[in-house]
Chains A and B, each alone.
Chain A
């Protein structure tokens, strides 16, 4: 038949460099665009954009949206949408703020800055987010109300529950131990950051080697050893480079002096201390790893992608797609609450407008990162990169001094352009999506 003749025994036709490396061309495209963006802004700002200080801030600002974007990938892959993430973030943040400033210290008598406070507050916040997500998922999966409607309702409902709970007041200052999760108030320091970086490199190299050994054991085609080496080298450079950037942003001298004063010591002359890896970034990295693992190596992830690709086939294969919908939205809710931890800790207060318009940023990040709204396709790393691109655009334009209306015009245009480019690319690759 046609396919037997059109498919000669593979005589290893000439393959391009990228194919041999088995690198994701779309990922490379995105990284390329991001690098051009950074260099452009760097020139326009006389080198301020790529300064360690700005890169550090950029990283911290991206975390909240990026965490939620990883969950939005699952939601969109399942052919759903979630417009309520900003609202869930706000109500989780409100609940956590009330628990740590009012409920625990006063009513339960734990006092302020009790070491238990932040743990309890976060546990309650994460439960609230997860429950709201699960409830919305139940409406969508079991009651067949379209996700767009359920979460549009949620967009109006959840944030305003937060408002009701707090009577519209800003709640703060938050618990000291809680603030550590926000970014600049909680960093690992240079030595620990390097240690974490080295462990990360070791784990990545081990994972790549194991995967390769597995393929060879089963007799599957594996990429040439040199290509594997290049990939390993790139991974190592990326991880250590990232740590190096975060380490080279030094704690301001005056802040250091205050720290030493507080301990009753005198600061040595010419001391320089880098911030290192912020805990919030570590939270994002762990989230990304777990979500990638879920997407690629668990049944849950497999079913999410199968359902996105063909809901009927998934159902006929015995997958409980209704329950799956509940799970996906529960994960989304959990991640919104996790983002609420990072966002409110970074701002040091809970305010009513926390996370406003985040739903749009999160969806844009996932979509720029290559998640197809038609369902069935998307990656976690793409969404995080998408969040980073969005944040860089916004902060870069602010630094250059672009007018506010123009900023939004540019961000909107980039969103549409990115999706258009992606569609062109897929067409050329002959994919159906």
Chain B
């Protein structure tokens, strides 16, 4: 992690620049249960904000409001300061919001190129799907992302966890994402692929992409993120700068729901 990038995102906040994304006072409930209860978080360009919390804390639900998979009951989404209306995944894509889902969201029966371009196929002048062009693009991008990737003509069900992950990542990165949501991107990965994802996050940060990183793993968040927002029982415990807290501070936020300053109280 280079200091200059951290500083730039930090500087943005200090200067009061308009954040890339603001989720303001978001509420989502499922049949009386407040899955997300008046939560506000924001994200600046080139910044990685970790979302931490137990299973069921509401972090995935919160972020699915931004990716269009869920609709909020109340609250406001602002992108570059303007009010954004996101009611489905297609809307999210028009705001350059890309998501890597924990489940990867791949169609197992299709090959890598078809998954990479799913919903945004390249077509020939006649309007037919241009498989050759898509496979060529797919080979190009996978070459940079995961040089060992070879199974281009097989359905993705035949791929290993890491290979499937790289297809999902390629899909999010290929289409000029400005805002990237990663839902436990390393959950299914071995050490080497986890390292690959970490490097990728640094590369994307440097390009000024804002990243929301959802993770269980406090160490991963400490290593990769600039700030962390911790949720518990649907509510925001607090948002802290990573370089001002320790692992234990984060853990006590997750477990006890207390901000570091309050610990003594």
Binding site for B on A (CB under 8 A): 1-4, 6-7, 10, 214-215, 217-218, 220, 293, 296-299, 301-303, 305-310, 312-320, 376-377, 430-433
**What are 5 A-B pairs with beta-carbon distances under 8 A?**
A2-B160, A308-B109, A313-B115, A318-B88, A377-B109
Are B105 and A317 in contact, CB atoms less than 8 angstroms apart?
Answer: yes
Q: Are the CB atoms of A218 and B135 closer together than 8 Å?
A: yes
- CA distance in complex: A84, B136 (Å): 43
Contact assessment for A315 and B129 in the assembled complex, using a CB-CB cutoff below 8 Å = no
Select which of A293, A319, A376, A433 is within 8 A of B119 by beta carbon. A319
Q: Is the CB of A297 within 8 A of B129?
A: yes
Q: Are B160 and A3 in contact (CB under 8 A)?
A: yes
Secondary structure at the A interface, as helix, strand, loop or mixed, is helix
Q: Quick one: given A10-B150, A302-B121, A317-B89, are A310 and B107 in contact (CB under 8 Å)?
A: yes
For chain B, what secondary structure do more than half of its interface residues adopt (helix, strand, loop), or is it mixed?
A: loop
Judge whether B108 and A220 touch: CB under 8 Å.
no
Write out the residue numbers on chain A whose beta carbons fall within 8 Å of the beta carbon of B88: 318
* Chain B residues, Cβ within 8 Å of A6: 160
Cβ contacts under 8 Å, B114 to chain A: 302, 306
B109 and A315 form a contact (CB under 8 A): no
* A297 partner residues in chain B, CB cutoff 8 A: 128-129, 131
Is B162 an interface position by the 8 A CB rule? yes
In the complex, B222 has a CB within 8 A of chain A: no
Complex: chain A residue closest to B151, CB-CB: A7
Chain A contacts for B192, CB-based, 8 A: 1
Q: Are A309 and B110 in contact (CB under 8 A)?
A: yes
CA distance in complex: A31, B90 (Å): 43
Do B107 and A315 have beta carbons less than 8 Å apart? no
Assembled-state Cα–Cα distance A317/B118 (Å)? 6
Given A3-B148, A3-B162, A309-B108, 10 more pairs with CB closer than 8 A? A3-B159, A4-B148, A297-B129, A299-B123, A301-B129, A302-B110, A310-B107, A310-B108, A315-B89, A317-B119
A1–B89 CB distance below 8 A = no
Least CB distance from A27 to B in Å reads 17
Q: How far is the CA of A293 from the CA of B108 in the complex (A)?
A: 21
Contact A298 B129, CB 8 Å, known A313-B118, A317-B119: yes
Assembly CA distance A320 to B93 (angstroms): 14
A319 to B105, CA, bound (A): 12
**Contact, CB under 8 Å: A316 / B89:** yes
Supposing A7-B148, A10-B150, A318-B90 touch, asked if A313 and B109 sit within 8 A by C-beta, the answer is no
Distance, CA A217 to CA B135, complexed state (A): 12
Point out the residues of chain B lying under 8 angstroms from A430, CB to CB: 158
Note all chain A residues with C-beta closer than 8 A to B148. Answer: 3-4, 7
CA–CA, A6 and B132, complex, Å: 27
The answer to whether A433 and B150 touch across the interface, beta carbons within 8 angstroms, is no
Q: What's the nearest-Cβ distance from chain A to residue B42, in Å? A: 24
Task: State the Cβ distance, A22 to closest chain B Cβ, in Å.
Answer: 10
Per the bound structure, the CA–CA distance linking A399 and B115 in Å amounts to 49
Residues of A within 8 A of B105 (CB): 310, 312-313, 316-317
* Minimum CB–CB distance for B261 against chain A, Å: 39
Tell me whether B150 and A314 are in contact (CB under 8 A).
Answer: no
Asked if B106 and A7 make an inter-chain contact with CB atoms under 8 angstroms apart, the answer reads no
- Contact flags B62-92 to A (C-beta < 8 A → 1, else 0): 0000010100000000000000000011100
B193/A1 in contact, CB under 8 A:
yes
A218–B136 touching, CB < 8 Å: yes
- Distance (Å) between the CB of B133 and the closest chain A CB? 8
Q: Which residues of B contact A293 (CB under 8 A)?
A: 128
Which residues of chain B have C-beta atoms less than 8 A from A2's C-beta? Answer: 160, 190
Contact with A along B188-217 (1 / 0, CB 8 A): 001011000000000000000000000000
Among A307, A314, A316, A376, contact of B99 (Cβ-Cβ < 8 Å): A316
Given A309-B108, A314-B107: A431 touches B119 (CB 8 Å cut-off): no
When distances are taken between beta carbons in the complex, the residues of chain B under 8 Å from A314 are: 107, 118-119
Interface centre among A7, A10, A318, A432 (most CB of B within 10 A): A318
Give the residues in chain A near B104, CB-CB below 8 Å: 313
A319, B118: Cβ atoms under 8 Å? yes
Is B239 located at the chain interface by the 8 A CB criterion?
A: no
Chain B residues contacting A215 (CB-CB under 8 Å) are: 132
| Cross-chain contact of B157 among A306, A307, A312, A432 (Cβ < 8 A) | A432
Residues of A within 8 Å of B128, CB to CB, are 293, 297-298
**Contact partners of B150 in chain A: CB under 8 A:** 7, 10
Bound Cα distance from A314 to B118, whole angstroms:
8
B235 at the interface (CB under 8 A from A): no
**A317 CB contacts on chain B under 8 angstroms:** 89, 105, 118-119
Residues B107 and A306 in contact, CB atoms below 8 Å apart: yes
A302 surroundings in chain B (CB, below 8 A)? 110, 114, 118, 121, 129
B60 proximal to A (CB < 8 A):
no
Contacts of A298 in B (CB 8 A): 127-129
The answer, yes or no, to whether B241 is at the interface (CB within 8 Å) is no
CB distance from B142 to the nearest CB of A (A): 13
Q: Most A CB atoms within 10 A — which of B93, B118, B162?
A: B118
Chain B nearest CB from A400 CB (Å) reads: 40
Q: Provide the bound-state CA to CA distance between A310 and B155, in Å.
A: 13
CB distance from A152 to the nearest CB of B (A): 27
Neighbouring B residues of A7 by C-beta, 8 Å = 148, 150-151
Shortest Cβ distance from residue A2 to the other chain B in the assembled complex, whole angstroms:
6
Cα A157 to Cα B163 in complex, Å, equals: 49
* Residues on the B chain within 8 Å of A296, using CB: 129
Pick from B105, B123, B135, B159 the residue with the most CB of A within 10 Å. Answer: B105
Residues from chain A with a CB closer than 8 A to the CB of B106 are 310, 313
In the assembled complex, the Cα of A309 lies from the Cα of B157 at a distance in Å of: 10
Is residue B252 within 8 Å, beta carbon to beta carbon, of the partner chain?
A: no
- Most-contacted residue by chain B among A4, A7, A214 (CB, 10 A): A4
CB interface residues, B 19-68, toward A, < 8 Å: 67
